[in-house]
Amino acid sequence: MTWSWQYENSTGEAVGTSEAFDQRAEAETWIGTSFEDLLEDGVEQVRLLEDGAEVYGPMSLRPE
């Protein structure tokens, strides 16, 4: 089982994916420390995937 993030731009178009993580907690910790860099690269929202299937999202990377 692997976990990854699908990156999306402001229109919801997929623009890439993260590295694969062995644990969900690792993936969620990583997004918490990487979201600012992703925003700078044009990523506006993400979806968490488990073995390629969506678990949740889209989740905005912008502070509320």
For the stretch 14-41, pLDDT in tens is: 999 999 999 999 999 999 999 999 999 9
Residue in 57, 64, 55, 61 with CA at minimum distance from that of residue 10: 61
- Cβ burial, residue 51 (10 Å; 0-12/13-18/19+): exposed
In this prediction, residue 9 has a pLDDT band, given cuts at 50, 70 and 90, of very high
- Give the pTM: 0.94
**Residue-range domain boundaries for the chain:** 3-60
Does residue 6 sit in helix, strand or coil? strand
Predicted confidence (pLDDT) at residue 64 exceeds the cutoff of 80? no
Instruction: Please give the angle made by the CA atoms of 8, 9 and 15, to the nearest 5 degrees.
Output: 55
- What integer is the mean pLDDT of 49-58? 97
